[in-house]
Amino acid sequence: MCEEKPKRKGGIKVHSVINADKTVPNLIWFSPIATHDHNFLEKLKCDDACSLGKELQVPVYKFTKDILRRKFGQNRYSNVKKIATAP
């Protein structure tokens, strides 16, 4: 009886960042299929967004309100808001 070796799949992921008002990506990054996507997020910079947030006096939890509520629910968002606004 012959043992079969497990099949290995190969591939790459293509990550890109595109501004809403442009058609050309600001960043294109290729990674092996086995690489976790959070590694790509570390490559992103939020300097402009952070500066604008400070200028407009909008904290991150308010800026990402819809995303946080969709992902974690209203109760979790309310807890984040309480913690962020606590004295």
Mean pLDDT in residue range 5-33: 78
CA distances from 85 to 33, 53, 61, 74, 81 (A): 40, 16, 10, 16, 6
Do 59 and 78 fall within a single domain? Answer: yes
Query: Which of the two residues, 21 and 30, has the higher pLDDT score?
Result: 30
Do 38 and 59 fall within a single domain? Answer: no
Torsion of CA 33, 37, 41, 43, to 10 degrees: -20
Do 54 and 81 fall within a single domain? Answer: yes
Q: Which residue has the tokens 């402009």?
A: 48
* Domain contains 67: yes
User: Residues 44, 17: contact at Cβ < 8 Å?
Assistant: yes
Do 84 and 49 fall within a single domain? Answer: yes
* Domain contains 58: yes
The domain in which residue 25 lies consists of 11-44
* Domain contains 6: no
User: Residues 66, 48: contact at Cβ < 8 Å?
Assistant: no
* Domain contains 69: yes
* Domain contains 1: no
Query: Given a cut of 70, is residue 60 above it in pLDDT?
Result: yes
Query: Given a cut of 60, is residue 1 above it in pLDDT?
Result: no
Query: How many Å apart are CA 12 and CA 62, to the nearest integer?
Result: 35
pTM (whole model) above 0.75? no
Do 85 and 51 fall within a single domain? Answer: yes
Do 40 and 55 fall within a single domain? Answer: no
Q: pLDDT tens across 37-55, in order?
A: 776 666 666 666 677 778 8
